[in-house]
Structure 1
Amino acid sequence: MDITLLYFDSCPSWKTVAQRLATITAERADIAVTHHLVESIEDAERLEFHGSPSILVNGEDVFADADAPVGLSCRVYQTPAGPAGAPTIEQLQAVLPPA
């Protein structure tokens, strides 16, 4: 399974997601994670980037919000503790196909 973490440098939440994905992949040899820096509005539009961090599993944005604008902005995730800059480990695990 391929996971792509799309992000831009000005949004610090991508580092939290990267750490959580590293925790998950330490237990899942079937997962390969790629980090992809989105550097411009043109990149954002081409990638249909709905904010940083975006998590794609096998090319699909698994937390997609059709109403979210495309662009270089920080993304907000709804977690059990309220809005946050990153999904919880449990939320990430829930969107991954079983090993």
Structure 2
Amino acid sequence: METDAPGEPGPTAERDATIEIDVLVVPDCPNRQLAEERLRQALDETGLRAARLTTRTVTDGTTAARTGFTGSPTILINGRDPFAEPGAVPSLTCRMYRTQDGLDGAPAAARIREALRAAAAAGGGA
């Protein structure tokens, strides 16, 4: 694992800055907090604490279609949904994720870590 000297920007810090994460949710999404907690945990565990994390509310079908929002919460890493299911269509509904323990309201932390590491390895591109 790469580390940076204190106070010196290095490869990890540069990659962190290029990773942008958007959590897209519908109003009052019951799984928003779970998704955000798992994302923060994964960011801490991967050392990507400087990545930009934004939560946005999606309220209409046009925005859902434009952003690739296939249910709440949708996590985009650099504009791409690494958890996209083939054939999923834009939708203003709750979204469920397949985990080893069954369906859940957010991706498993391990899958989020994998997606973050892949984005970092690609130089910030997901």
RMSD: 1.7
TM-score by length of 2: 0.70
Give the 4+ runs in structure 1 shifted more than 4 A.
none
Residues 18-74 of structure 1: CA deviation (Å, up to 9, x unaligned): 111122334423421111110222221222211111111111111111311211011
Which of 7, 10, 20 aligns to 2:38? It is 20
Which of 21, 28, 34 is residue 54 of structure 2 equivalent to?
A: 34
> 1:9 is matched with which residue: 3, 20, 27?
27
Structure with max Cα Rg:
2
Identical aligned residues as a percent: 33
Higher strand proportion? 1
1:93 aligns with 2:106: no
**TM-score normalised per structure 1:** 0.87
In the alignment of these two chains, the number of paired residues is 99
**Secondary structure class of the residue paired with 1:33:** strand
Q: 5+ unaligned residues in a row in structure 1: which ranges?
A: none
Mapped contact 2:43–2:113 kept (Cα < 8 A): no
